[in-house]
Amino acid sequence: MEDPESAGAAPPPGLRSLLPPREFLRSRKGQLLLAESVLSFIIFICYIASLAASFMMAPLLEFLLALFLFFAYASKLNEKFKGVHWPLADFLRCVTAAIIYFAISIAAVSKYNDGASKAAGVFGFVATIVFAIDFYITFNDLVTFLKQGSSDSPEGHKAE
């Protein structure tokens, strides 16, 4: 029979400790990073199966970067490592990803006739929109952060 004291105890951490917290998954940033990771992986698979295999490196890199940032934000590495300016790095990643996805999607749709290239192009346009939304939101956060930093007067720093 089961011990009554162990019935109320929390399950051992195991693989659950690798999963991000629910509050991060429900946040806007968590959902955007998850969508970016999934779309980048789908586009990577489509490019591998297509005639446009030369474009597969960009989605692979974006997938790895989005996955890294997803777990970095989920485990709060951005709060532990203050030397990296996380919003600026995330903004630059999103801007370059949106531009690259837009360019290679146009090339994949217009130049190649196979279905996998067309699918990669369509998913690339969707990823462009997702990355554009992310860099718009990140830009607003970055501007707010910079306005907070510029409101400190230089006279206050001299007095310290």
The count of domains in the chain is 1
User: Residue 17: inside a domain, yes or no?
Assistant: no
Q: Which domain holds residue 70?
A: 24-148
Confidence of residue 153 (pLDDT cuts 50, 70, 90): very low
User: Residue 153: inside a domain, yes or no?
Assistant: no
User: Residue 9: inside a domain, yes or no?
Assistant: no
Average pLDDT over the chain reads: 83
Which pLDDT value is given to residue 79? 82
**97-102 contacts, C-beta under 8 A, 24 or more apart:** 97/36, 97/62, 97/65, 97/127, 97/131, 98/128, 98/131, 98/132, 98/135, 100/58, 100/62, 101/43, 101/58, 101/59, 101/62, 101/125, 101/127, 101/128, 101/131, 102/128
Mean pLDDT of 107-131: 94
* Residue range 58-108, pLDDT digits in tens: 999 999 999 998 888 888 887 888 787 888 888 999 999 999 999 999 999
